[in-house]
Structure 1
Amino acid sequence: MPRAAVPPGAAGAPMVDAVRIPRATISPTRTGVLPPPRPPPARHGPLYSGPAPRDVRSPGRQPGRPAAALGAGGASNPGASYRRPPRPYQGYYQGGAAAEGGRGSYAQSWGAPARYAQRRSSSPAAAEPAEAVRGAGGARGSVAAGAASSRGAGRGAYGSGYHQYGSRQYGSGSNGYGYGHGHGSYNGGGGLYYGPNGPASPATQARALHVARQQWTAAARLRLHAAKGSGGSASAAPGALAAGCLVEFERNDKGVLGLVAGPDGKKNWFVVDTTGRRSSIAPKQVSLLLPGSGYTDSDVASFAAAAEGADLSLLEIAWEIALESDGPLELSELASLLYDDTSPRSLYVTYRMLQRDGLYFKQTGKSSTTAPTFSPRRAEDVAQLRRQAEEAEAARQAAEGWRQAVAAARNARTRAQQPSGEAWATGPFAHRIAAIRAVAVCNPAASSGPAVDEPTLKLALESMQLAGAGSRADPDAAAGFLTELGVLRRHEPLALLRRGVALGADAEEERQAAALLAAPPPDPDANSRLDLTALPVFTIDDATTTEVDDGLSVERLPGGRGVRLWVHVADPTRWIQPGSSLDLNGRRRSRTLYLPWGSVPMFPRALAEGPFSLRAGEVCDALSVGVELLPDGSLQRPTVAPSRVRVSHKLTYEAADAALAEAEAAEAWRAAEGAAAGAEEPVGGLEAAVAADLLELRRAALKRRAYRESRGCIEIPLPEAKIHVPYSHLDRARPGVTISRISQWESASRSLVAEMMILAGEAVGTIGSEASLPLPYRSQDTPDLPPAHLLAAIPEGPCRGFALKRCMTRSSVASAPSPHASLALDAYVQFTSPIRRYSDFMAHANLKAWLRGEAPPFSGSTINAVSEAAAEAGRELGAAERESENYWAAEYMRLNSEAELPATFLGWQREELRLAAFLLENQGLEAVVRLPPGTAGEALAPGDRAVLGVSEANPAAGFFRLFVAGWTSGGAAKGDEEAEEEGEEVEVVGEGAGGGEVVEVVQG
């Protein structure tokens, strides 16, 4: 009859109109989007045929087999019938699970004690239980009655142990089916309860699942109890091997299912695995021998498929039950617990589950004569293993994510498509990037620089191996890998980083600098500062200079008494107190580091380029040195005082040279013509009065040089090479590198500035000496120069400068004055660069304290100790600067490999080794090269000129290789043709020949 006509609770009526549909992803502990219900089963065919374990209430069935077929209306059911007498399990009854056609009906099964549903049918079978039922208060299992047909598939109250209700109206008849196969609803499987109006509420489903688990667990306990003592049906005894047996054997530390094909000699056996591969195995390789024989290849495939599809989540429930047993469990006991079945298929599925997931059970027994046994792990061990497994899985996923991120960065077509260095450093793989970077910037061969500990090295190596970046984690390999990812730029200054040179202030320094800017400290010299803001002040620097620490002024004295020259120096001690954190950090750095692409300031850049600097158009605090010159150029009445100045003219060296040249030409024309200068006539782009001050400074500089020459100063007129590359080009494949020749002897403004700086240093040295004030006095011993006639034979300019430089001695710093030979001064203090040189900062601090009548903050012993440390740090910084310059010089040569380079032979560095020093004329770059044996050495003389070419350049190693394309002048020119025929190369073996000091004049 139609469902609506059956009264609730009447015989034949469903107790609950719901159907359970398995879903492998639903569990009581999980939430998610529920899928739509599956359609009802087909009219003919199995209810379920997947690889999941069998139904608990069909004891003779194998996993994955259909329970029964669907009865056809009014016809006999073509499906199988399972008839088995009831077996008591402490008040539970095992239902038979059969349906045969005809117009049969099943009654409700409900309550306790158990009642039986009587089957009426034309079949000769006697009445048998149709559903398993609980005692009083138990769950309800129903089979619907219908006018057409009915079926009971053995899926009642227990079903597979997971659902309560199993009935639903279907078609014109009523087919009762409880779809509970798969064991999924409790733990990682899945099932959904549907009523007349769709899915049941979440609360109903959760309750149903809870009850289902309790029911399955109770039944499983009974099965385990029954299985205990019954003995196992599987063995691993090699002696039982025979053709047609099914075994699992070990191959490459993995279990493989195979069919024994026959013996291989006296001891071994041939087996065929699921792929058809034939192998010879020894008996000791067999880990499981399944009972029975006569297996076929199809059994191998079906057993393997069933094991592969097994629900491993069932092991947790089995483990909870097994904890109540004493001693280890045999494989057959576990199979009975899980599936109520000890058939070979169930045994293998169980064994494979235990091997795949060792979380809950450990194998405790296996020998040549016994079957494997398994013991449940302790709860605390399971918790620990679960944590370890979760950690391992998280690590696996993280490693896979790392591989994918590296692959994406490698596959990017441009740098812009790659993650930035900051993104790498702050992203999910920051720890891996940090470890590889630590290796990239370490330098095990250096005396200083960052070190790498063992865990960091291990992580770096692991990360590079995961990314397929080789099997080594040395600095060069790590740097190359990071460059490939875009973490490091193509031209990252690795030489500096490997020396431990920080490329900027740290966060704490930046915070302190910001605090100073926000709240400037009190100025202890506020009341004593001279107001010199009415004087025009010139600053003359390179166009790229950002730390402006000196300016120049001319004060015309009243009554025609001449002029007073002023050198105004930035006053960072106005902001930083000796002993403060910023002071100590500056002391550690010792000076600003100048590099082809920029600088690393001694103090935080916000301060060094901000209030410390003499900025154009602003009133700035300064420490000013004023002097008057006697007719011979010596100093008269030097003074020093805190001041306030305003920079009125910010000039580059090129602009100052042009202005001086025009002013000198105009003055020479007026002198020749006897004309007076126009009061308002501009000169070199400057007002007439300003140009006059600039010209006055030039005349004073010439007078000072003449004075020092008269005292025996030593000048080394060698040009410098200024290598420059824009900072933004450090990641370019072809950066814009330039090398320019710079010489103070070839630039009027550079010579002017140099002389004024020396003048200020002498004035401070004189003041400090007379006051017995401890200052960082710089001195130099008298060098051992070549005889005058030999020097006179060397051409003036770079060639003579090269000869003199090789004779010079190093300068030193001490707290008491001593003569400086090359400058020809009795006392000299470097004073004009306190922003970028710490010795100058100390001089400022002591001078200002002396002017205030206070004790100097730096004692003589402190000055000596700090100067010694600064000298050591300076050597390290100098080496870092040279490495950077060598890198970019080699990069310049690489980019200009086809260029012809005019060069001047300066002299022999080591004639016995044929090491010659050349000056690249356009670049101002010195290179020591090895001349080939065919060169007419006896004909070479300083000043001979050649054309060199580039044959090789290796920026990473900091060297380039040149060859002599020809000689263009001098005695060696006659051998030019012979040299070209030989076509030999010359090798650059070093740069900057000579170990002497570069005179302070060039320091400015």
Structure 2
Amino acid sequence: MRPSPMAARAASGCSSAALAFFRLRPLARAARLAPAGRSAFGATAACRGRLVDSVLQELRSRRRVRVSARIGLQGTKELSDSKIEKRTIQKGLLLEFHKDSERSLLAVVERPDGKKNWVVTDQNGILSSIKPQQVTYVVPGTMDFDCSRIAEFLEKAQDLLDPTILECAWMELSEKDKSVTVEEFADIVYGSKESLESYCAHFLLSRDIVYFVKVESRGSSIYQPRPSAQVDELLRRKLAKEAADKELEEFVHLLKSAKALPLGSKPPKNSWLMEEKVKQKIESLQAYAVDACNDEQRRMAGNILKAMGFARTSSAALKLLINVGYFPVHVNLDLFRYDVQTTYTEKVLSVAEELLVDCPDSDKHVRKDLSNLRVYAIDVDEADEVCFYYCCPHIFRKKLNYINSLLTDKSVEYYFLVTQLDDALSATRLPDGRIKVWIHV
């Protein structure tokens, strides 16, 4: 019988602590005990094969009943209330509490704070007042714990926090649909219910999102193994999320590298569009900047902006795209907002060039180039409206009260222009002392 993928993965990936649960030797030790004359690789491969068979045999053997009997393990529906112990908070206990939505810390209880709250000293040496609802676990066997020993306690815990233990234990417990308390789990995987092992068991179970689910019973927590189909689906999602996180990390690195370059050395725009994964992310930022994104683009752009330390706003996305050189400094967002084509093939560009050569500007002799004039406007920097007024003085008197005096002055020569600036003017002094004014409408 061939081993299942999960059994093979468990056998090859479990640590020494996890294999101890199955009463098996680690692979490295098995290789060292190989007979003389056999290569280390051959011995390791042979031992690995025997190890897989041993795990399968151990998992399916009725002899595992003695393990359950030794710890008094019971089914989910048969879990007795005597197995569940709710510890009360008191001075000197070591506990774990939620500092905020993203952090959990270890702390020692110092004293009561009012009727319900408690003052604790956390692992960083900071005094805090916490509510009972913030407490996630009270470490057993830690009466009169010294807060100066928390760092040492955490350092020892790191050696036992092996996530592969969860998969091995899940395989053992799921076949019998057995639920366990934290201390029972610690006894199974570590062979001890002491404070350090119990805390490590709590740490692994409480942060696991694949193999076990937490259920409540009279205020205390027990953990139940998930069904196999659910575990497979959660593993698939976990791997997909890890791959997406890695892609995001690589893209953020590209953005930071481009942002750090001087203006003349930024990567060209087409370099962001060559690879499909990079193209999707940069286009999500572009759509977010012009407020024309779908839900997926909004989610992706928001994650990118957060990773870059920007606010999740369209103006922040625009600033980022300018900083990396994807957008020019004076970009016309309307072109992107209304999906106006801005790039053309070489064939189209060559035809346009021919038209410019063959069709000269017939009105050039009657038009005046006023692009050298300085324009003054009473408006904000972002003004982009177009004013549709006829170039008649009486209309300007109604619209532009602030230049009424100029319009009634006979020494002023008027030139009315159509531009994107509303309520603006330019002026130059003529040789005879008069002022020539251009009104922009």
After TM superposition, the score normalised by the length of structure 2 is 0.72
Cα deviation for residue 400 of structure 1 reads 2.1
Cα deviation for residue 413 of structure 1 reads 1.9
Q: Is the 8 A contact 2:427 2:438 kept in 1?
A: no
Cα deviation for residue 411 of structure 1 reads 0.1
Q: Is the 8 A contact 1:161 1:216 kept in 2?
A: no
Q: Which residue of 2 aligns with 1:379?
A: 228
Q: Distance in 1 between matches of 2:105 and 2:424?
A: 63
**Partner amino acid for 1:485?**
V
Q: Is the 8 A contact 1:332 1:342 kept in 2?
A: yes
Q: Distance in 2 between matches of 1:162 and 1:495?
A: 68
Q: Which residue of 2 aligns with 1:193?
A: 31
Q: Of residues 27, 36, 45 in structure 2, which corresponds to 1:203?
A: 45
Q: Is the 8 A contact 2:97 2:106 kept in 1?
A: yes
Q: Is the 8 A contact 2:212 2:224 kept in 1?
A: yes
CA deviation string 1:189-210 (max 9, x = no partner): x767235677342423423543
CA gap of 1:312–1:609, structure 2 versus 1, over 3 A, is same
Q: Distance in 1 between matches of 2:308 and 2:98?
A: 31
Q: Which residue of 1 aligns with 2:240?
A: 391
Cα deviation for residue 339 of structure 1 reads 1.7
Q: Is the 8 A contact 2:18 2:168 kept in 1?
A: no
Cα deviation for residue 936 of structure 1 reads 8.0
Q: Of residues 702, 716, 719 in structure 1, which corresponds to 2:366?
A: 719
Q: Which residue of 2 aligns with 1:71?
A: none
Q: Is the 8 A contact 2:374 2:426 kept in 1?
A: no
Q: Does 1:341 align with 2:192?
A: yes
Q: Distance in 1 between matches of 2:295 and 2:94?
A: 50
Q: Which residue of 2 aligns with 1:913?
A: 396
Q: Which residue of 1 aligns with 2:146?
A: 296
Q: Does 1:429 align with 2:273?
A: no
Aligned residues: 399
Q: Does 1:323 align with 2:162?
A: no
**Partner amino acid for 1:206?**
R
CA gap of 1:395–1:382, structure 2 versus 1, over 3 A, is same
Q: Of residues 141, 146, 155 in structure 2, which corresponds to 1:305?
A: 155
Q: Distance in 2 between matches of 1:278 and 1:440?
A: 44
Q: Which residue of 1 aligns with 2:314?
A: 473
Cα deviation for residue 359 of structure 1 reads 1.4
Q: Show the 5 A alignment for 1:306-705.
A: 306-309=156-159, 310-368=161-219, 371-416=220-265, 418-427=266-275, 428-440=277-289, 452-473=293-314, 478-492=317-331, 494-503=333-342, 604-605=348-349
Q: Distance in 2 between matches of 1:363 and 1:415?
A: 56
Cα deviation for residue 322 of structure 1 reads 0.5
Q: Is the 8 A contact 1:247 1:289 kept in 2?
A: yes
Cα deviation for residue 162 of structure 1 reads 3.8
Q: Of residues 87, 107, 129 in structure 2, which corresponds to 1:258?
A: 107
SS in 2 for 1:968: coil
SS in 2 for 1:247: strand
Q: Which residue of 2 aligns with 1:599?
A: none
Q: Distance in 1 between matches of 2:109 and 2:361?
A: 94
CA deviation string 1:53-82 (max 9, x = no partner): 5995xxxxxxxxxxxxxxxxxxxxxxxxxx
CA gap of 1:720–1:414, structure 2 versus 1, over 3 A, is same
Q: Distance in 1 between matches of 2:364 and 2:194?
A: 101
CA gap of 1:215–1:403, structure 2 versus 1, over 3 A, is same
Q: Is the 8 A contact 2:108 2:147 kept in 1?
A: yes
Of the two, which has the highest radius of gyration?
A: 1
Q: Of residues 214, 217, 222 in structure 1, which corresponds to 2:66?
A: 222
Q: Is the 8 A contact 1:250 1:285 kept in 2?
A: yes
Q: Is the 8 A contact 2:107 2:120 kept in 1?
A: yes
SS in 2 for 1:362: strand
CA gap of 1:401–1:229, structure 2 versus 1, over 3 A, is closer
Q: Which residue of 2 aligns with 1:92?
A: none
Q: Distance in 2 between matches of 1:470 and 1:363?
A: 35
CA deviation string 1:299-328 (max 9, x = no partner): 533443333331110110100110123452
Q: Distance in 1 between matches of 2:296 and 2:405?
A: 56
Q: Show the 5 A alignment for 1:82-231.
A: 161-163=23-25, 185=27, 193-194=31-32, 199-201=40-42, 202-210=44-52, 213=55, 222-228=66-72
Q: Of residues 274, 281, 306 in structure 1, which corresponds to 2:130?
A: 281
Q: Show the 5 A alignment for 1:722-801.
A: 739=369
**Partner amino acid for 1:466?**
A
Q: Distance in 1 between matches of 2:115 and 2:338?
A: 69
Q: Of residues 419, 428, 431 in structure 2, which corresponds to 1:968?
A: 431
**Partner amino acid for 2:367?**
E
SS in 1 for 2:271: helix
CA gap of 1:940–1:285, structure 2 versus 1, over 3 A, is closer
SS in 2 for 1:355: helix
Cα deviation for residue 406 of structure 1 reads 1.3
Paired-residue identity, %: 21
CA gap of 1:500–1:322, structure 2 versus 1, over 3 A, is closer
Q: Is the 8 A contact 2:302 2:312 kept in 1?
A: yes
**Partner amino acid for 2:326?**
V
Q: Distance in 1 between matches of 2:193 and 2:356?
A: 94
CA deviation string 1:204-230 (max 9, x = no partner): 342354356458757876323321259
Q: Which residue of 2 aligns with 1:940?
A: 411
**Partner amino acid for 2:313?**
R
Q: Is the 8 A contact 1:233 1:332 kept in 2?
A: no
SS in 2 for 1:248: strand
CA deviation string 1:944-997 (max 9, x = no partner): 599xxxxxxxx9x6579555353434xx73xx6xx9xxxxxx78532xxxxxxx
**Partner amino acid for 1:501?**
V
CA gap of 1:498–1:304, structure 2 versus 1, over 3 A, is closer
Structure 1, unmatched stretches of 5+, are 1-25, 31-50, 57-157, 164-179, 443-450, 514-603, 616-649, 655-715, 722-738, 741-888, 895-906, 917-928, 947-954, 980-985, 991-1004
Structure 2, unmatched stretches of 5+, are 1-8, 75-79, 376-389
**Partner amino acid for 2:31?**
Y
CA gap of 1:355–1:191, structure 2 versus 1, over 3 A, is farther
Q: Is the 8 A contact 1:314 1:338 kept in 2?
A: yes
| Larger RCO of the pair (alpha carbons < 8 Å, separation 6+) | 2
Q: Is the 8 A contact 1:243 1:262 kept in 2?
A: yes
**Partner amino acid for 2:228?**
A
Q: Distance in 2 between matches of 1:285 and 1:460?
A: 33
Q: Which residue of 2 aligns with 1:731?
A: none
Q: Distance in 2 between matches of 1:237 and 1:283?
A: 12
CA deviation string 1:127-158 (max 9, x = no partner): xxxxxxxxxxxxxxxxxxxxxxxxxxxxxxx9
Q: Distance in 1 between matches of 2:302 and 2:171?
A: 42
Q: Distance in 2 between matches of 1:330 and 1:223?
A: 15
CA gap of 1:436–1:54, structure 2 versus 1, over 3 A, is closer
CA gap of 1:653–1:421, structure 2 versus 1, over 3 A, is closer
Q: Is the 8 A contact 1:221 1:337 kept in 2?
A: no
What is the RMSD computed on CA atoms of the aligned residues?
4.6
Larger strand percent: 1
SS in 2 for 1:329: coil
SS in 2 for 1:939: coil
CA deviation string 1:604-627 (max 9, x = no partner): 4566778xx899xxxxxxxxxxxx
Q: Which residue of 2 aligns with 1:237?
A: 87
